[in-house]
Amino acid sequence: MIWLYLTRELDIICQSRIRIFHLAPEAAIKTPLCRLKHIAYVSGDLTSETADVLLDATRIPFAQSSFDGLICCHVLEHINDDRKVMEEFYRMLIPGGWALLQHPVPRAYTYEDNSVTTPEDRKRVFGQKDHVRIYGMDLKNRLEAVGFEVTVIDYPGMLSKAEVLRYGLKPGELIFFCRKG
């Protein structure tokens, strides 16, 4: 879904030089982006050997305004201090830069409980042993609180049923499109 959005809506294939940071890179996005010569692509992750840079997302080692775009899918629900990561994303982007974030949001409000610490309890409460929260639609508010202008996009809802099936998209899966003012 992110690749479709990048190519169809942001038209990155036809843009001139663009710098993109990708946190916890998925091969389905990384591989085609790395093939585009006009894109300066950098990926980062805490442990993945496929990332260009090993890093802690709460302390990303790039200067302010280093990137035009940023991609982050299904990561923030794993990080205790998600606000710090959001602040880092905002800091790294140029004015007018964009971030595409995708996270499961099955509820209206985010649920967190810092007393849930064991992998077994996290799986029971948050649905996965390494999750520390379940996001709700108030993720938009959290992103706006660090300065982003946020549009929540139901991208599969914008496509035909045939395209949703062809690309294996989940109806109702959302993209949080963030713009740095």
Q: What is the pLDDT along the chain (181 residues), one digit of tens a residue?
A: 999 999 999 999 888 899 999 999 999 999 999 999 999 999 999 999 889 999 999 999 999 999 999 999 999 999 999 999 999 999 999 999 999 999 889 899 999 999 999 999 999 999 999 999 999 999 999 999 999 999 999 999 999 999 999 999 998 899 999 999 9
CA angle 78, 108, 145 (to 5 degrees): 65
15 in a structural domain: no
Would 108 be classed as within a structural domain?
yes
The one-letter code for the residue type at 96 is: G
- How many independent structural domains does the chain possess? 1
The DSSP-derived string for 63-91 is: -TT-EEEEEEES-GGG-TTHHHHHHHHHH
How would you classify residue 113: left for phi > 0, otherwise alpha for psi between -120 and 50, otherwise beta? beta
Domain-located, residue 172: yes
Q: Which domain holds residue 136?
A: 2-10+20-180
